[in-house]
Amino acid sequence: MVGSAILRGLLAEGYRNVVTRGKKELDLRDTRAVSGFFSEEKPEYVFLAAARVGGIMANMESPGEFLYDNLMIQSNVIHQSHLAGVKKVCFLGSSCIYPRECPQPMREEYLMTGKLEPTNEGYAVAKLAGVKMMECYRRQYGLKGVSPIPCNLYGTNDSFDPRSAHVLSSLVRKFVDAVDTGEGEVTVWGTGVARREFLHVDDLADAVVFLMTHPDPPEIINVGSGFDVTIRELAAMVARAAGFGGKLHWDASKPDGMPRKCLDVARMTGLGFRPRIGLEEGIGRTVAEYRERKKGTGKP
């Protein structure tokens, strides 16, 4: 989702000498393969969007895989960027790297000041290591780069797989499927009181291109909308967009995750960047995309 959005953003800005590799073409966990890619292509700017990602269920079931895969991906790419003399690297962090009980809104200086959320600790530890690796390589080797920390992302090319989808796309699938099958009740994980901030992936892509073309961006910078909603509010918005008029059942036996995740985006707005796509508009687009996928394939 993120990589394809960044590619669209670069092409929209007129960049044409862009080299990409999908995970089937290049396993970024393979040190030798990554070294060979850098030797062959000699990139000048690197956007590292690849990562093993997923929702609460996937993170809880496979914490070791989330830790190992992400550590290997980012270590290989950042190190080879240094060896190849890359001019600037963008390493995408995640808002889940902030402490579970972090003061709100979360400012960049709050990183590593408390314990992480247990349900996604493997992923968060790996992403924190990537942010610190970028800092250390800048300090020791002069590697220039930026580590944007986005809030919860959604949008074009999102995953609707119930085992790996994040909360917004998961809700879109639940409500659209319920409408299509005539179900009168939808069950949602948790209590619904947790608060989350959302950003359309196209806005993130614009922010990334903006930061990579900025002459001197901050090393670490939050990227988000600056406001959050409860999961109950989000579910109501998705239900309306999908045309679902039935009942919602909240399964409180399932985890809520972090109580709240809302970013302080003062650094980003101070540079002159603001997102364009509002949450309701973005939800409408996501509902339409999921319906198109079902229509085109007969399944999501």
- What is the rounded CA–CA span in Å between residue 209 and residue 152? 19
Yes or no: say if 208 and 147 are a contact pair by the CB < 8 Å rule: no
Q: Which residue in this structure is represented by tokens 């969007």? A: 49
68 catalytically annotated: no
Residue tagged active-site, from 123, 137, 154, 290: 123
User: Residue 4 carries which DSSP code?
Assistant: H
The amino acid that residue 196 corresponds to is R
Task: Give the contacts of 163 (CB within 8 A, at least 6 positions apart).
Answer: 54, 57, 58
Report how many helices (DSSP H) and strands (DSSP E) the chain contains, helices first.
Answer: 10, 11
- What is the rounded CA–CA span in Å between residue 37 and residue 59? 30
Q: Could you give the 3-state DSSP secondary structure of residue 152?
A: strand
Element (H, E) at 62: none
Q: For 136-168, b where at least 16 C-beta lie within 10 A, e where not — what string?
A: ebeeeeebbbbbbbbbbbbbbebbbeeebbbbb
- Residues involved in catalysis: 123
